[in-house]
Structure 1
Amino acid sequence: MKPRSPTLRTLARRLDLSVATVSEALRDHARVAPATRLRVQRAARSVGYEVNPLLGAALSAVRRGRHRDYRGTLALIDADEDNRALYLPFHREIAAGAAERARELGFQTELFWLGPAEPALSMKRMPGVLHARGIAGAVLLPFHSTHDLSEFDFSRLAAVQMDHCLIQPQLHTILPDHYLSMLHALEQLTQRGYRRIGLCMARRKDARIKRKWSAAFQSFFNENSRLHSIPPLIESQITRAGFITWYRQHRPDVIVGHQQIMVDWLAELGVRIPADAAFFNLNVTERTAPCAGLDLTPRRLGAAAIETVVAMLHRQERGVPKFPQTVTLEATWVDGPTLRSR
């Protein structure tokens, strides 16, 4: 017969302490003396006691009079860039999809900023804050640039990353299928009659997703020798001067990229969109005007991230996974005025 798992009450009897004191000690509450906290935590480890964060958060919610179906709070973590909290449209859509799916599963979400200066929290401080709040699950939004979070303590957290936004450690990842989405977009563009397709993007956009955009682009033209291959313009920063030089040299009939300002640069040269050249946006969520492009379905991505975190919580999985897994979702095609009609 399998022995019964230790409970909070049996642990309290063993230590001759109240249940409330043991509970607060396991949560590192300041009301409990440091020596007592250490004694309780060591005893809990010795008997194999594990805190159930879902139950603890639910009981806290009941005490605060929240909705009876509440199961806990999940963190959405974004990173400030150059001490600026830039909440991008793509991130807002991911957060909206995550919040909606979390509500369906009995959770709520809360946004936290990761950074060196307040109101953001440092990577050393944030894990303690989340633990003190009873937050055991987190989704790392697709940071503007890759970050090294090797000093972030994930041991008490069920966490996933969006895109490949971390250098270290490697977590479960939720992201668009950039490679397959690019291949299918190029196939449809050639079916529309485009033969001189040019890729133009900032290097960090490609590097953050392990160069899947450019790899798919090169692979497509390696397999379709009948099409004219134009050297991609991939620079640390796409400037007006660099773009115009590239355009005049290669004369693409459709430009694939992220920066819609290229349409304005072409208009200044007298290039008519889409009659003379077309534009296809690789992320229509961040478009600045109506255009054709790929919908990376950020709300579905946010929902998938929440589903992954909740499943990890139910399986009692915490920390950095031994075998990180990746979930990818293919983007959908969006028609628009920057392409010729069918």
Structure 2
Amino acid sequence: MERRVTQSDVARRAGVTRPAVTMALRGHPSIPLATQERIRRIAEEMGYVPDPMLSALASYRSTLRPASYHGTLAWLGNNLPPFDWREVTMFRSYYDGAVRRAASYGYNVEIFDFQAKGSTPEKIAKAFRFRNISGVLLSPQPGPSWELSFPWEHFSFVTFGYSLVRPALHTVAPTQFRAMMMTMRKLYEKGYRRIGFGCSFLVDERTDHHLLGGYLVEKALFERKLTMPLFDEEKADAPLFRKWFLKHRPDAIVTGNPRLLQVIEDAGFRVPEDVGLACPTLPEPDIDFAGVYEDSFHMGETAVDTLVGMIHRGERGIPERPHYVHVPGLWLEGRTLRDRHAPEKKNAGTAKRSRRSS
């Protein structure tokens, strides 16, 4: 049987120590990028593959001791006014989750921003290299269909959602298409039949139209037709909503923003007595609003899991085949829907509200 190629074999061919091979194959920042690439090329030419049993043993041993300091991960924002990712509940939770999970691997997370005074992509990349930062979490962009220029080839990147269209990077995102389908099915189960679409068209574009797609699929499967025009929550005020509502008479509305509850009440209608309301993209789990809670904190954790794995595998630059990690949400009953099969309850409470930004 042919002998397995070991890291010691690779080290002899490359003229380095075995620990240097180990660190190079893991993308350790103490090994120059050119050396890492040379060692990976030699390992590939020799047919080296990691021993799965030894890898599992090393992973097990690492869980038995506290995480040692490995370095810094960058959180790279793009706060082009008036946008600020820190003011968006879900985006802030991405960051908080990332910080928590990074600490478990022995990393700090430091914030950088494209819009900081005097910043350019080249200066930011230079700062990363000077600080031995090889992993970058790219925050959601100020708007949909965003394009960025950066020296990508030196770093491992993971981003969030679909606002960045070029380049296509490894991405962590909520399952918004399935969340909308789940929301629609819950409404049909509760006896609602005329369900209106009340999401911001801009937010829907940020989700790569996953919200509208899930809505239209369920409408087609259950009703076989689109029974009323779409309503853009982004431009909604009480008079505009009242006109749309009285003309089309929905018995329920799906929205991407819990703020629509206040617009409906200002228009003189009660939720859920006059109209049901559900949100497939809830930013918080405790607002008494029916819908799907996205758990953005967990998405931040998942992004770091993905990024650390890339660093260990030495994956840099724009991927040839970007991966999309979709994190499912959790259905919450809330108080903005009622069971239309059951007798209506009197004095139903109103739902607490949550601030959410597009």
TM range (shorter): 0.7 to 0.9
Instruction: Work out the CA distance in 2 between the residues paired with 1:81 and 1:240.
Output: 30
Q: Tell me the equivalent position of 2:267.
A: 269
Indicate if the aligned counterparts of 2:183 and 2:279 stay in contact, CA closer than 8 A.
no
Indicate if the aligned counterparts of 1:200 and 1:257 stay in contact, CA closer than 8 A.
yes
Are 1:71 and 2:80 an aligned pair? no
Indicate if the aligned counterparts of 1:140 and 1:162 stay in contact, CA closer than 8 A.
yes
Q: Tell me the equivalent position of 2:100.
A: 100
* 1:337 CA drift (Å): 1.9
Instruction: Work out the CA distance in 2 between the residues paired with 1:315 and 1:68.
Output: 19
**Code of the aligned partner of 1:321:** P
Identical positions, percent = 26
Indicate if the aligned counterparts of 2:147 and 2:164 stay in contact, CA closer than 8 A.
yes
SS in 1 for 2:199: strand
- Of 136, 150, 159, the residue aligned with 2:157 is 159
Indicate if the aligned counterparts of 2:147 and 2:166 stay in contact, CA closer than 8 A.
yes
Indicate if the aligned counterparts of 2:277 and 2:336 stay in contact, CA closer than 8 A.
yes
Q: Tell me the equivalent position of 2:317.
A: 319
Instruction: Work out the CA distance in 2 between the residues paired with 1:47 and 1:142.
Output: 30
Indicate if the aligned counterparts of 1:195 and 1:228 stay in contact, CA closer than 8 A.
no
CA-based RMSD = 3.0
Indicate if the aligned counterparts of 2:258 and 2:282 stay in contact, CA closer than 8 A.
no
Cα deviations by residue, 1:166-193 (Å, 9 ceiling, x for unpaired): 1210101110111111111111111111
Cα deviations by residue, 1:144-167 (Å, 9 ceiling, x for unpaired): 313644421111110011011212
* 1:122 CA drift (Å): 3.3
Q: Tell me the equivalent position of 2:328.
A: 330
Residue correspondence of structure 1 range 170-319 to structure 2 within 5 A: 170-225=168-223, 229-234=227-232, 237-285=235-283, 290-319=288-317
The number of equivalent residue pairs is 294
* 1:5 CA drift (Å): 2.9
Indicate if the aligned counterparts of 2:228 and 2:248 stay in contact, CA closer than 8 A.
yes
Q: Tell me the equivalent position of 1:19.
A: none
Indicate if the aligned counterparts of 1:196 and 1:227 stay in contact, CA closer than 8 A.
no
Indicate if the aligned counterparts of 1:254 and 1:278 stay in contact, CA closer than 8 A.
yes
Residue correspondence of structure 1 range 46-65 to structure 2 within 5 A: 48=38
Instruction: Work out the CA distance in 2 between the residues paired with 1:323 and 1:91.
Output: 25
**Code of the aligned partner of 1:138:** V
Instruction: Work out the CA distance in 2 between the residues paired with 1:75 and 1:181.
Output: 30
**Code of the aligned partner of 1:92:** R
Instruction: Work out the CA distance in 2 between the residues paired with 1:68 and 1:274.
Output: 49
Indicate if the aligned counterparts of 2:152 and 2:316 stay in contact, CA closer than 8 A.
yes
* 1:124 CA drift (Å): 3.4
Q: 1:280 to 1:305 in 2, by over 3 A?
A: same
Instruction: Work out the CA distance in 2 between the residues paired with 1:298 and 1:72.
Output: 24
Cα deviations by residue, 1:31-80 (Å, 9 ceiling, x for unpaired): xxxxxxxxxx9xx5799379xxxxxxxxxxxxxxxx97111211122221
SS in 2 for 1:75: strand
Instruction: Work out the CA distance in 2 between the residues paired with 1:235 and 1:262.
Output: 7
SS in 2 for 1:152: coil
Cα deviations by residue, 1:278-303 (Å, 9 ceiling, x for unpaired): 22123321699542222111011111
Instruction: Work out the CA distance in 1 between the residues paired with 2:290 and 2:129.
Output: 44
**Code of the aligned partner of 2:14:** S
Q: 1:125 to 1:248 in 2, by over 3 A?
A: farther
SS in 1 for 2:187: helix
Instruction: Work out the CA distance in 1 between the residues paired with 2:123 and 2:15.
Output: 30
Unmatched tracts of structure 2, length 5 or more: 1-8, 18-28, 41-65, 343-358
**Code of the aligned partner of 1:207:** E
Unmatched tracts of structure 1, length 5 or more: 9-22, 28-40, 51-66
Moved over 6 A (4+): none
Q: 1:302 to 1:47 in 2, by over 3 A?
A: closer
**Code of the aligned partner of 2:210:** K
